[in-house]
């Protein structure tokens, strides 16, 4: 299983970006998926997650601004990011797991390569 993340870039404060994550490889079923981010010198944090049953959860810092969604087959997920702030600047990683939604970043089975999001004027 491989995860391919895309959609990062440079955006002005208040702007929007949409990240996408596609799962390829030996896919047997739907996945639980999530987005993490990590900025230099900071801890990695869960940004948003979506379960196989379409339940979602968000970090308090992004609630009301970010929306996670997925397609029906459950092999792609997107993160719509609105009203971006400089503190959202980070490398964003998508993760997946077919067995369960993980609340520890070390427990996710599959990690993508990361996509850089920079919010700056």
**Structure-block tokens of residue 13:** 């404060």
The string of pLDDT tens digits covering residues 13-32 is: 999 999 999 888 766 667 88
Give the pLDDT score at 26.
64
Torsion of CA 101, 34, 59, 6, to 10 degrees: 180
Could you tell me which residues come within 8 angstroms of residue 4 by beta carbon, excluding any fewer than 6 positions away? 21, 22, 24, 112, 113
| pLDDT interval class at 41 (50, 70, 90) | very high
Give the pLDDT score at 82.
98
**Structure-block tokens of residue 11:** 């955006």
For residues 61 and 94, what is the distance between their CA atoms, to the nearest angstrom? 18
Give the pLDDT score at 100.
87
Give the pLDDT score at 52.
84
Give the pLDDT score at 39.
94
The string of pLDDT tens digits covering residues 49-105 is: 999 888 999 999 999 999 999 876 667 899 999 999 999 999 999 998 888 889 888
Give the pLDDT score at 71.
79
């Amino acid at each position: 299983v491989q995860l391919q993340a895309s959609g990062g870039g440079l955006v002005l404060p208040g702007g929007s970006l949409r990240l996408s994550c596609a799962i390829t490889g030996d896919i047997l079923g739907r996945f639980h998926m999530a987005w993490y981010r990590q900025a230099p010198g900071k801890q990695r944090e869960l940004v948003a997650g979506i379960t196989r049953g379409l339940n979602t959860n968000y970090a308090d810092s992004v609630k009301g601004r970010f929306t996670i969604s997925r397609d029906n087959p459950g092999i792609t997920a997107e993160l719509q990011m609105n009203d971006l702030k400089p503190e959202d600047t980070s490398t964003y990683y998508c993760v997946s797991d077919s067995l369960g939604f993980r609340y520890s970043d070390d427990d996710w089975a599959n990690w993508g390569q990361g996509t850089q999001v920079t919010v700056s004027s």
